Amino acid sequence: MIPVQGFSGANVAVLGLGRSGLAAARALRAGAAIPVCWDDNPAAREAAEAEGFACRDLHKQGAFDDIATLIVSPGIAHLYPKPNPAVRAALDAGVPVDNDIGLFFRSLATPEWDNFERAPRVVAVTGSNGKSTTVALLHHILESAGKEVQMAGNIGRGVLDIDPPGEGGVVVLELSSYQTELARSLTPDVAVFTNLSADHLDRHAGLGGYFAAKRRLFAEGGPDRAVIGVDEEEGVFLAGQMSMGASDDRVIRVSSGRKLGGVGWNVFARKGFLSEYRKGRQAGSIDLREMTGLPGAHNHQNACAAYAAARTLGLAPRMIEGALETYPGLPHRSQPVADAGGVRYVNDSKATNVDSAVKALSAFKKVRWICGGLEKDGGLDALKGATGSVQKAYVIGREAAHFAVQLDVETEICGTMAVAVERAMADAQPGEVVLLAPAAASFDQYDSFETRGDDFIAEVTERLG
């Protein structure tokens, strides 16, 4: 646990008592603060009270009269589409609003670090797609190199739940826009931006607000090194803002699909090969084509980002290459499920938006595509022209018919995962891939994308015997 510093003896309100909220309350208590907790869910309050935390209805008049700071869980809106009433009450009372990420960065360094020859470092990864894979891949690379490393945030443990890092230790964080937009302290040593596509637009009042939330990771604290994907205009702009000139190697530009030129520090993947160039000269090259844990151009982009971050931490190209070869992949992200009768079955339930689904489809030549679910803002227009590999789509979800009519491929309305898997398996020919890449959220039928992916795996496994 990382004890929170700076609030000894002070009342600190915690709104939302899920994983991050309870972890924040525990870390505040460990730092001698007095947590004052609230969650609209009675069961969550009971769980907090069972751990000895006091609960107070933060919606009531005067609830913030003695509160030093309000800590808000990521899922609770503080501005758009409208602030949670408790958040607004705190703002009206002049009480600062923060989150567990802000507490983490203000509390990580301790006087003990003065005795270290090599201070711990933090790598923070944000972006629309590929964050989890990039974090898990970098963690795997560092672990393979014998480094002390922990991953946290949206993946692994809560940021305040981790162990205090030792000398030379590395903490790798996955940070969503919900986390970066509110944190009052954001000071990673290395910041990584994977890419940007339309997502969470209601929470951020549009794409500009969404990008602004991501950009805070780079603008607020000024990382020593910035690894930035430049395959979208926002990434090009961000890299330009962070760089002091063409040869400024504090910025590493990353691309998948095109060669990056110039005298700066560049890492890119083309035709399955990763290349590193620095000061106009090639410094490394890796063949990614046979690495089963990293299929497709989108995973090659993730590999470039993780490679670049590992290089900033002093690892040699050959050491990184060996780790990439043994990376097993993450559940629900281009996850191999089975290979039977010449047909591959792949679970990419994490493809919850259109852009991630397009990238999943592009990784395979002939696809029986299981898609559908709770459609996100922005519609499905971006799928048009990107479905050339699709032999047929098998649409699930409560609004399957509406989803299906927006697709530019042959479709079959299946409704449920069981029917979709049955029909796709019946149609699939040797050399094809049955791919779950929904291009939609899961919440119309499932509690999470993990539950949806598990259902796909169970249906495939049962039918293959």
Output the pLDDT for position 363.
Answer: 87
Domains of the chain: 11-98 (3.40.50.720), 103-325 (3.40.1190.10), 335-464 (3.90.190.20)
Q: Does 129 show up as a binding residue in the annotation?
A: yes
- Listed in sequence order, the residues at least 6 apart from 226 whose beta carbon sits closer than 8 Å to its beta carbon are 190, 191, 192, 193, 218, 238, 239, 242, 250, 251, 252
- 349 annotated binding-site participant: no
Predicted confidence (pLDDT) per residue in 214-230, tens digit: 999 999 888 999 999 99
Asked whether the beta carbons of 449 and 350 are under 8 A apart, the reply is yes
| 126 is annotated as contributing to ligand binding | no
Amino acid in position 1? M
For position 154, what pLDDT does the model report? 87
Here the tokens at position 220 are 């607020």
The reply to whether 99 sits in an annotated binding site is no
What pLDDT is stored for residue 296 in this prediction?
82
384 is in an annotated binding site: no
Whole-angstrom CA distances from 312 to 273, 284, 302 are 20, 14, 16
Task: Give the rounded percent of residues in the chain with a pLDDT score beyond 90.
Answer: 87
Annotation-wise, does 127 bind a ligand?
A: yes
Residues of the chain with pLDDT under 50: none
The H or E element that residue 132 is part of is: helix 131-144
Token digits of residue 452: 């949806």
Distance from C-alpha of 302 to C-alpha of 117, rounded to nearest angstrom: 31
Specify the pLDDT at position 220.
87
pLDDT for 292: 80
pTM, whole model, 2 decimals? Answer: 0.84
Task: Flag whether 389 is marked binding.
Answer: no
